[in-house]
């Protein structure tokens, strides 16, 4: 396996000095977290054929996304990512996969995350990318899923739903939209932006619960409801619908051969891989969140309220209906 060790040497050279006590090159990495620091650890596995298709996924996008999905989890804890571990199952000669590693390392540099280890193996099951990220948060300040209370606002960053529309486009469900809108939706799927700075800012202004949207807003909000022991009512009119998503849905609707139930709200609530943050804002923290919006430090909007009554509901045209905490369109 000369290829393996040459490839690891190349990774080590590119990763540079680690800032840890020991990085790549020994049997394990070693670092010393500060005395007033809690650590968070998260891991995500990306499997060819399951999570991505190399027919439409450029290797640099895959490398960036493998890190991004972990940065998103760390941000959702209100923590700062510090260290990464990258494990690769490579179907053949490692060298063609260098663009994946290089893009991963560029993204890590941009996030001030250091690659301190990993594993590199040949794979007979396609390309496998496993990333673990370790982050830090001041002791006692991590934001969990469990803190939402009745009366807190339900907020979400950015424009969820675009990624799912982008995936539909990549899978060939074409729509007559402008090249700009098409590019926007596809990039949101292939190259999502984790809300790294936002997570810490929201922690600092006192949000009471937070989660990142990987499986769809309604489903992930459902985890917050379960962990916090509350319910929520969302406002259909308050859902953030991006121009590109509106254009996509309008174009799909005019095509008689496609499902009429497709609409923008279904993408927002039931899409996935958005890597936006959903969070709970208690009334006393609302002015501070508004301050973050006004300064441009966070882009987010309030889409509903947590309630004592369990379950997830949607108010549309004055009518409140239960919605499933996943796959919103199945219950409409
Ligand atoms: P071991 O056999 O002790 O597990 P390896 O030969 O697998 O050691 O790895 C040698 C060093 O290279 C270790 O520090 C390991 O963490 C690092 N390493 C291996 N693969 C990668 C990778 N894909 N990315 C980053 N570091 C890696
Ligand atoms: Mg090893």
Q: Please indicate, yes or no, if residue 331 is contained in any of the structural domains.
A: no
Q: How confident is the model at residue 88, as a pLDDT? A: 98
Asked if residue 84 has its Cβ within 6 Å of ligand 1, the reply is no
Confidence bin at 258 (pLDDT 50/70/90): very low
Of all protein residues, the one whose alpha carbon is nearest to atom 21 of ligand 1 is 118
- Structural domain for 282, as ranges: 153-323
pLDDT single digits (tens) 50-68 = 999 999 999 999 999 999 9
Q: How confident is the model at residue 255, as a pLDDT? A: 52
Give the pLDDT mean for 174-200: 96
In the predicted structure, residue 325 carries a pLDDT above the cut 80: no
Q: For the chain, give the percent of residues with pLDDT over 70.
A: 95
pLDDT single digits (tens) 117-137 = 999 999 999 999 999 999 999
Q: Please indicate, yes or no, if residue 14 is contained in any of the structural domains.
A: yes
Average pLDDT for the chain = 93
Of all protein residues, the one whose alpha carbon is nearest to atom 18 of ligand 1 is 118
Q: Please indicate, yes or no, if residue 184 is contained in any of the structural domains.
A: yes
Confidence bin at 209 (pLDDT 50/70/90): very high
Q: How confident is the model at residue 315, as a pLDDT? A: 95
Q: How confident is the model at residue 326, as a pLDDT? A: 65
Map tokens 């301190």 to a residue. 116
Which residues keep their CB under 5 angstroms from ion ligand 2? 119
Please report, for the domain that includes residue 18, its CATH number: 3.30.1330.10
Q: How many whole angstroms from 103 Cα to the centroid of ligand 1?
A: 19
pTM: 0.93
- The answer on 112 and 233 residing in a single domain is no
Give the pLDDT mean for 238-255: 88
Ligand 1: residue of 2, 5, 8, 21 to mutate (most ligand atoms within 8 A of CB) is 8
- The answer on 293 and 183 residing in a single domain is yes
- Ligand 1 atom with minimal separation from the 25 CA: 14
Ligand 1: residue of 107, 119, 132 to mutate (most ligand atoms within 8 A of CB) is 119
Q: How far apart are CA 257 and CA 251, in angstroms?
A: 12
Q: Please indicate, yes or no, if residue 275 is contained in any of the structural domains.
A: yes
């Amino acid at each position: 396996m000369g290829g393996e060790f040459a490839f690891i040497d190349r990774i080590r050279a590119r990763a540079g000095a680690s800032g840890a006590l020991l990085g790549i090159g020994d049997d394990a990495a070693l670092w010393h977290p500060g005395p007033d620091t809690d650590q968070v650890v998260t891991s995500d596995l990306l499997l060819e054929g399951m999570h991505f298709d190399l027919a439409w996924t450029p290797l640099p996008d895959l490398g960036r996304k493998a890190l991004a999905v972990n940065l998103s989890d760390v941000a959702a804890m209100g923590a700062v990512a510090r260290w990464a571990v990258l494990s690769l199952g490579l179907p053949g000669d490692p060298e063609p996969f260098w663009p994946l590693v290089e893009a991963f390392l560029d993204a890590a540099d941009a996030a001030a995350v250091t690659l301190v280890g990993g594993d590199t193996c040949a794979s007979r099951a396609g390309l496998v990318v496993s990333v673990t990220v370790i982050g830090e948060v001041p002791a006692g300040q991590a934001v969990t899923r469990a803190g939402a209370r009745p009366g807190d606002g339900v907020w979400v960053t950015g424009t969820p739903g675009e990624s799912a529309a982008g995936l539909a486009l990549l899978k060939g469900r074409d729509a007559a939209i402008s090249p700009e809108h098409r590019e926007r939706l596809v990039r949101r799927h292939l190259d999502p932006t984790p809300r790294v700075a936002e997570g810490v800012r929201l922690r600092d202004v006192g949000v009471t619960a937070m989660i990142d949207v990987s499986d769809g807003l309604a489903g992930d909000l459902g985890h917050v409801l379960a962990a916090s022991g509350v319910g929520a009512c969302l406002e259909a009119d308050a859902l953030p619908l991006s121009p590109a998503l509106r254009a996509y849905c309008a174009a799909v609707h005019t095509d008689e051969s496609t499902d009429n139930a497709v609409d923008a709200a279904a993408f927002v609530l039931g899409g996935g891989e958005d890597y936006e943050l959903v969070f709970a804002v208690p009334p006393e923290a609302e002015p501070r969140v508004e301050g973050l919006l006004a300064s441009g430090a966070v882009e987010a909007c309030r889409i509903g309220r947590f309630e004592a009554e369990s379950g997830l509901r949607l108010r549309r045209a004055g009518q409140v209906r239960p919605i499933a905490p996943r796959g919103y369109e199945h219950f409409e």
